[in-house]
Amino acid sequence: MLRRVVIGVAMASLMGGAAYAVDEDAGEDNECTQRLTAIEEVVQNKIDANALSEADSDKVNELLDEADALCTEGKFPEASATLATVSKMVGE
Domain boundaries defined on the chain: 26-90
Q: Is 79 helix (H, G, I), strand (E, B) or coil?
A: helix
pLDDT confidence of 7, banded at 50, 70, 90?
low
Q: What is the mean pLDDT of residues 57-65?
A: 93
Radius of gyration of the chain (CA): 20
What's the CA gap between 56 and 75, in Å, rounded?
A: 25
Banded model confidence at residue 52, pLDDT cuts 50, 70, 90: confident
**Across the chain, what does the average pLDDT equal?**
81
